[in-house]
Amino acid sequence: MREKTIRPFDYYALLFFATAFAGWLWEALLYLATAHTFVNRGVYRGPYLPIYGVGCVLLILLFHRLRRHPVIVFVLSCLLCTTLEYFSGVWLLWKWGVRWWDYSGHICNIDGHICLTSSVGFGLGGALLICLFQPVFNKYYHRMTIAVRVTLCIVFTLIFIADAAYSAILPNTGEHISTFCPCNCASNPLI
């Protein structure tokens, strides 16, 4: 039986920030290619989307031992990330009455919070993360000294906390970012 790999906190913190930035970059470039305009996507002001960071850390924690089985990683990533996106969308809509994404026009969507296309994308992203990105991340992580890793964690965490505090009061809801819910769902805790 293989021993579990226990990694220090800074490993997961740096993984979170790297993948939250990668998710932001992916969405910004996707929007730039499709709508021909730059949009700072997400609730926060900074260049990161925490849902990607959380999803990636969960995928690594749960499925890193399956890296030799990309089809299984694909299926499990579809399920986990789709569930995370659905409940995040429901919570954001309930909390602020705002949709930061809406898949209503897509095939096989559920309440506009998730759809088949994004689920497949999550599966592919999860397989790439586990099978390709994590080994590269590990290589660069181990090349950094502990002092550099801790310093990066402290700086990124302080910036993130300040942005989270500001965005909790005034979330990023500018043009092309979100749609306000006409039914005022924020006042209805059942939605």
> Domains of the chain: which residue ranges?
9-187
Which is more confident, 168 or 20?
Answer: 20
Q: Is the model's pLDDT at 5 over the cut of 70? A: no
Q: Which of 50-59, 89-98, 120-129, 141-150 has the lowest mean pLDDT?
A: 89-98
**pLDDT per residue over 45-66, tens digit each?**
999 999 999 999 999 999 999 9
Task: Supply the DSSP string of 142-163, one letter for each residue.
Answer: HHS-HHHHHHHHHHHHHHHHHH
At residue 2, the pLDDT reads 52
Q: How far is CA 164 from CA 30, 46, 49, 118, 172, in A?
A: 24, 9, 11, 26, 11
Residue 99: which H helix or E strand, with range? strand 98-99
Q: How far apart are CA 124 and CA 67, in angstroms?
A: 13
The per-residue pLDDT for 93 is 87
* Local confidence band at 115 (pLDDT 50, 70, 90 cut-offs): very high
The pLDDT of residue 27 is above 80: yes
Contact between 32 and 38 under an 8 Å Cβ cutoff? The reply is yes
